[in-house]
Amino acid sequence: MTRTNIASLALAILFMLAVAGSCRKKPAPDPTPQDSTTTLTPDTIRTPLYFPQPIIPADNQPVKEIAQLGRMLYYDTRLSNDGRSCAGCHIQSIGFTTHSMLNGTVVLPHVNMAWYNTFMWDGSKTGTLEDVMTFEVQEFFATDLNRINTDPIYSTLFRKYFKTNTITYKHLAYALAQFARTMVSGNSRYDLSLRGIVTLTPDERAGKELFFTERGDCFHCHTNPVMTDNAMHNTGLDSIYTKDADKGYYNVTHNTNDLGKFRTPNLRNVALRTRFMHDGRFTTLEEVINFYDHGMRKVSNLDPIMLLPAKEKGLQLEEWEKQQLIAFLKTLTDTTFTTNPAFSNPN
Ligand code: HEC
Ligand code: HEC
């Protein structure tokens, strides 16, 4: 070997070492999965005093940092495989729903879900928020876990908060559930009136009276203060069920007695929506009230509450009473909720 040959060989080796070195410049993996320096801040779900205790599983107690991580995920389009984020359909400014539909189904709002044990229009999901969130990431979005695991920020945060080197659907669901549990609406005009901070107008007060007494009789299903009883009811919307989607709870149980039963929707922020009922058949609150007033079909499994004495022919309200009910429904709008920066896109 000549001297020049040796020199160029040495140069080549040096070059190769340099390239190899640069390839190794990625951050060295954390040797310990447990990062003992991380402090987690325990939190409580803040609600007005008249709210019941929220449902919180023992193994996912509220932690500020984890709820914040859930918020990042909620707004992250990389959770889906087609560029959608949760917030793409659950839009904060209109109470975490959208005016569009998905396959003929109205997108359910996200509000006060910390009190739910039944989810979806047809009650097809039961359990905790953690359970429904697992469905959302694992089945609805079929999130590509590899994409999340190779993201340096998520891998660092999940390692810190969940002490794990591998992010699973369960971890994503737990973080999302924590964020969802913080989405509490308790500052509507209705709430402020309960706390003596505002006085409702005479029409709003009359509407409230109709809602919470046998005259309007809404409260048996839209129960105070969450505004849903988590239960399935046939309210007589249909007498024949042409579309599968109209069969409701029947699709879950295959029991004919459950035909046309739907989970009572939450009425908080209802005035911000433009599609009502599972299939969005009504587009105004007037249409909804007219249905309760005289549109009900007498099907065999009609909810007994719908047939209470004096209701057999519908509510038969006076025009002004309908307007009063609507005025009351509008007091359930909570703009501190729909504009709360804590629920907005953090990314
Ligand atoms: C393409 C629109 C769309 C996207 C994106 C979307 N959702 Fe939904 N979501 C819906 C629809 C529609 C429903 C009602 C479905 C039903 O009841 O059959 C719903 C219902 C829900 C419910 C049940 C609420 C209740 O009151 O029972 C939860 C929880 C939920 N979504 C969470 C999520 C999460 C978390 C994500 C992101 C991982 C997400 N959604 C993304 C459309 C969407
Ligand atoms: C027997 C139980 C029951 C009673 C009583 C009842 N509701 Fe409902 N309500 C439901 C169910 C269930 C739905 C959803 C039905 C569907 O989508 O098929 C619903 C839907 C609604 C909706 C549409 C909400 C949305 O997001 O689409 C409004 C508004 C509403 N009810 C208001 C009222 C008012 C006002 C009263 C009293 C006049 C009342 N409800 C009485 C069970 C009830």
Token pair listed for 208: 């409230």
pLDDT at residue 17, as a whole number: 40
Q: CB–CB of 176/74 below 8 Å?
A: yes
Q: Atom 37 in ligand 1: which residue has the minimum CA distance? A: 86
pLDDT for residue 24 is more than 70: no
Token pair listed for 183: 């989405």
Atom of ligand 1 nearest to the CA of 133: 35
Q: Give the residue, 293 or 38, on which the prediction is more confident.
A: 293
pLDDT for residue 34 is more than 90: no
Q: Would the CB of 114 count as within 6 Å of ligand 1?
A: no
For 233-253, write each residue's pLDDT tens digit.
Answer: 999 999 999 999 999 999 999
Output the CA 264–ligand 2 centroid distance in Å. Answer: 6
Q: 21: pLDDT confidence band, cut at 50, 70 and 90?
A: very low
Output the CA 45–ligand 2 centroid distance in Å. Answer: 27
Output the CA 102–ligand 1 centroid distance in Å. Answer: 9
Q: 38: pLDDT confidence band, cut at 50, 70 and 90?
A: confident
Output the CA 54–ligand 1 centroid distance in Å. Answer: 20
pLDDT for residue 39 is more than 90: no
Q: Would the CB of 120 count as within 6 Å of ligand 1?
A: yes
Q: Atom 15 in ligand 2: which residue has the minimum CA distance? A: 277
Output the CA 265–ligand 2 centroid distance in Å. Answer: 7
Question: What is the sign, positive or negative, of the torsion defined by CA atoms of 82, 87, 93, 99?
Answer: positive
Token pair listed for 238: 């249909």
Output the CA 107–ligand 1 centroid distance in Å. Answer: 6
For 124-157, write each residue's pLDDT tens digit.
Answer: 999 999 999 999 999 999 999 999 999 999 999 9
As a whole number of angstroms, the distance between CA 187 and CA 339 comes to 12
As a whole number of angstroms, the distance between CA 290 and CA 278 comes to 17
Share of the chain above pLDDT 90, in %: 86
Q: CB–CB of 222/264 below 8 Å?
A: yes
Q: Would the CB of 108 count as within 6 Å of ligand 1?
A: yes
As a whole number of angstroms, the distance between CA 289 and CA 269 comes to 16
For 174-231, write each residue's pLDDT tens digit.
Answer: 999 999 999 999 999 999 999 999 999 999 999 999 999 999 999 999 999 999 999 9
Q: For residue 71, how many C-alpha atoms fall within 13 Å in the half-sphere facing its CB?
A: 19
Q: Which is nearest to 229 in space by CA: 237, 239, 238, 219? A: 219
Atom of ligand 2 nearest to the CA of 292: 38
CA angle 32, 33, 37 (to 5 degrees): 80
As a whole number of angstroms, the distance between CA 68 and CA 73 comes to 9
Q: Is 123 exposed, middle or buried (0-12, 13-18, 19+ CB in 10 A)?
A: buried
pLDDT for residue 7 is more than 70: no
Output the CA 222–ligand 2 centroid distance in Å. Answer: 7
Q: Which residues line ligand 2 (CB under 6 A)?
A: 216-218, 220-222, 233, 235, 237, 262, 264-265, 267, 270, 273, 276-278, 288, 292, 303, 305-306, 325
CA angle 200, 284, 114 (to 5 degrees): 65
With a CB cutoff of 8 Å and minimum separation 6, the contacts of 282 are 275, 276, 288, 291
- Point out the ligand nearest to the CA of residue 277: 2
Q: CB–CB of 76/347 below 8 Å?
A: yes
Which of 111, 218, 293, 325 should be mutated for ligand 2, with most atoms under 8 A from CB? Answer: 218
Q: Atom 12 in ligand 2: which residue has the minimum CA distance? A: 264
| pLDDT mean over 86-105 | 97
